[in-house]
Amino acid sequence: MAQLLTDSEVSSALATVPDWRLSDAAITRTVDLASFPDAVAFVVRVGYLAEAADHHPDIDIRWRTVTLRLSTHSEGGLTSKDFALAAQIDAL
């Protein structure tokens, strides 16, 4: 099990994924894509990363806009798993 990060650890980790924002006990990122099929394809790529990491984001698709929310539900907040997956998603 991953341990919850302290506030200072969260601040440091956020600096490594600048497109993500702190939102309650989670980090979120919204991505605008060129079309709805591009948004769906992006979500599929995120899905493969999430499955490989055994860590799954909440995903909202609105036409060509995808919003991702990461939090370690089993721990009730943010852990290193969230920031590791965020960095992988950013690399897409």
3, part of any domain: no
pLDDT tens-digit series, residues 7-51 = 999 999 999 999 999 999 999 999 999 999 999 999 999 999 999
65, part of any domain: yes
Query: Taking 80 as the threshold, does the pLDDT of residue 52 lie above it?
Result: yes
Q: What is the rounded distance in angstroms from the CA atom of residue 90 to the CA atom of residue 49?
A: 11
Q: What is the rounded distance in angstroms from the CA atom of residue 42 to the CA atom of residue 87?
A: 15
Structure pTM?
0.94
81, part of any domain: yes
CATH code of the domain in which 63 resides: 3.30.1360.20
Specify the higher pLDDT residue, 1 or 6: 6
> Which amino acid type is present at position 75?
E
% of the chain residues with pLDDT over 90: 96
Residue 67's domain spans which residues? 24-90
